Structure 1
Amino acid sequence: MSCIFCKIIDGEIPCSKVYEDDLVLAFNDINPVAPYHILVIPKKHYESIIDIPENEMEIVGHIHNVINKIANKKGFNETGFRIINNCGDDGGQEVKHVHYHILAGKKLPMYEAEKK
């Protein structure tokens, strides 16, 4: 059985697309925690960032370039945004497919670790 993100990529589950190219898909999160809450996922399935082979790590750079494009297009490049990649159970990863959260559109609280 494929994961929910693979089903979104395959068109089996609809999404609100923000960006798409041959390598990645970006769409609005269905449970947003900020005015802008966009997920950016590679079209190739990797369970987590740990599972991306060294010779395929250019996908991470591509994802970051796409995040910059989205920030510029949506206009939150000037005010700022947060990028989150949860990895594994202890890291809070709920969907076992590499994905990056872009959060923007309001002042985001600092995490406890950032306050120290």
Structure 2
Amino acid sequence: MSNCIFCKIVSGDIPAEIIHENDDLLVFRDLNPQAPTHALVIPRRHIATLNDMQAEDAELIGKMHLAAKAVAEQEGIADAGYRTVFNCNAGAGQTVYHIHLHVLGGRPMSWPPG
């Protein structure tokens, strides 16, 4: 998608602090962090929302969570605890329409969230 900021990060047109990547995914630090560690796990392939996912994307979602685990370990927050969050559409807080998994940690998390 030519107007998608995350697609532009994937293509290298927009810089980001990349902390993990593989053939399917890219992980970078959020520009507006809500915790001491706040990273975004995105697929390289554009999918606008979770509602646009298909059955064949199930493996991709699993890979996103495994990347979140790897980042939590790399960042030293795995043992203390961390949160992963997908937002779907505006009512849930999605502002960039390219699916992304938030990885947040480094501070206590309250429940229920926002």
2:49 is aligned to 48
In structure 2, the CA distance between the partners of 1:78 and 1:51, relative to structure 1 (3 Å rule), is same
Gaps of 5+ in 2: none
Write the distance in 2 (CA, Å) between the matches of 1:109 and 1:57: 29
Return closer, same or farther for 1:7/1:111 CA change in 2, 3 Å cut-off. same
Paired-residue identity, %: 37
Measure, in 2, the Cα distance between the counterparts of 1:84 and 1:65.
14
Match of 1:89 in 2: 90
**TM-score of the two chains, using structure 2 as the length reference:** 0.94
| Equivalent pairs, count | 113
C-alpha distance in 2 between matches for 1:56 and 1:33: 28
Cα offset for 1:57? 1.7
For residues 5 and 56 of structure 2, the distance between their equivalents in structure 1, rounded to whole angstroms, comes to 26
Alpha-carbon separation, structure 1, partners of 2:37 and 2:113: 22
Based on CA coordinates, which of the two structures has the bigger radius of gyration? 1
Shift of residue 51, structure 1, vs aligned partner: 0.7
Cα displacement (A) at 1:112? 6.0
Q: Structure 1: which 4+ aligned runs deviate by more than 6 Å?
A: none
Q: Does 1:110 align with 2:111?
A: yes
Given the superposition, is the C-alpha separation of residues 112 and 43 from structure 1 closer, same or farther in structure 2, using an over 3 Å criterion?
Answer: closer
Counterpart in 1 of 2:80? Answer: 79
Superposition RMSD in Å: 1.3
SS of 2:91's equivalent in the other structure is coil
- Specify the alignment match of 2:33 in structure 1: 32
**Corresponding residue SS for 2:64:** helix
Distance 2:113 2:99 in 1: 24
TM, length-normalised to structure 1 = 0.92
